Amino acid sequence: MAKVIFDNVTRIYPGNTEPSVSNLSMDIKDGEFLVLVGPSGCGKSTTLRMLAGLEEVNKGHIYIGDTDVTTMQPKDRDIAMVFQNYALYPHMTVADNMGFALKIAGTPKAEIRERVEEAAKMLGLTEFLDRKPKALSGGQRQRVAMGRAIVRKPKVFLMDEPLSNLDAKLRVQTRTQIAALQRQLGVTTLYVTHDQSEALTMGDRIAVIKLGVLQQIGKPTELYDKPANAFVAGFIGSPSMNINKHPVVDGKAKIGDDTVELPAEAVNKLTADDNGEIIVGFRPEDASLAGADEPNAFALNVVNVEDLGSDGYIYGSIVTDGSVAESTATMSDQNNLTTIRVNPRSLPHIGDTVKIKIDPAKMHLFAPSTEVRLN
Q: How do residues 249-272 score in pLDDT, each as one tens digit? A: 999 999 999 999 999 999 999 999
Task: Enumerate residues 6+ apart whose C-beta is below 8 A from 264.
Answer: 251
Rounded-to-integer distance, Cα 233 and Cα 329, Å: 13
Report the range of poorest mean pLDDT among 231-245, 318-332, 334-348: 318-332
Q: How far is the C-alpha of 27 from the C-alpha of 3, rounded, in Å?
A: 7
CA distance 78 to 258: 60
- All CATH 2.40.50.140 domain ranges in the chain, comma separated: 242-366
Q: How far apart are CA 340 and CA 230, in angstroms?
A: 19
In the predicted structure, residue 329 carries a pLDDT above the cut 60: no
How large is the average pLDDT for residues 231-248?
Answer: 93
Q: Does domain 4-234 have CATH number 3.20.20.70?
A: no
What is the value of pTM for the model shown?
Answer: 0.87
What string of DSSP letters covers 138-202?
Answer: HHHHHHHHHHHHHTT--SEEEEESTTTTS-HHHHHHHHHHHHHHHHHHT-EEEEEES-HHHHHHH
User: What percent of the chain is predicted at pLDDT more than 70?
Assistant: 96
Whether the pLDDT of residue 328 is over 70: the answer is no
Q: Indicate the pLDDT class of residue 322, thresholds 50, 70 and 90.
A: low
Whether the CB-CB separation of 258 and 295 falls below 8 Å is answered with no
CATH 3.40.50.300 boundaries in the chain: 4-234
| CA atoms lying within 13 Å on the CB side of residue 288 | 8
Least confident of 58-62, 171-175, 304-308: 171-175
Per-residue pLDDT, averaged over 170-196, amounts to 87
Percentage of the residues of the chain whose pLDDT score is greater than 90: 69
Task: Label residue 335 by pLDDT band (50, 70, 90).
Answer: low
Of 3.30.70.580, 3.90.180.10, 3.30.360.10, 2.40.50.140, which CATH number belongs to 242-366?
2.40.50.140
CA-CA distance, 93 to 76, in Å (whole number)? 27
pLDDT at 332 (0 to 100): 43
Q: Which of the residue ranges 3-17, 128-142, 170-184 would you say has the lowest mean pLDDT?
A: 170-184
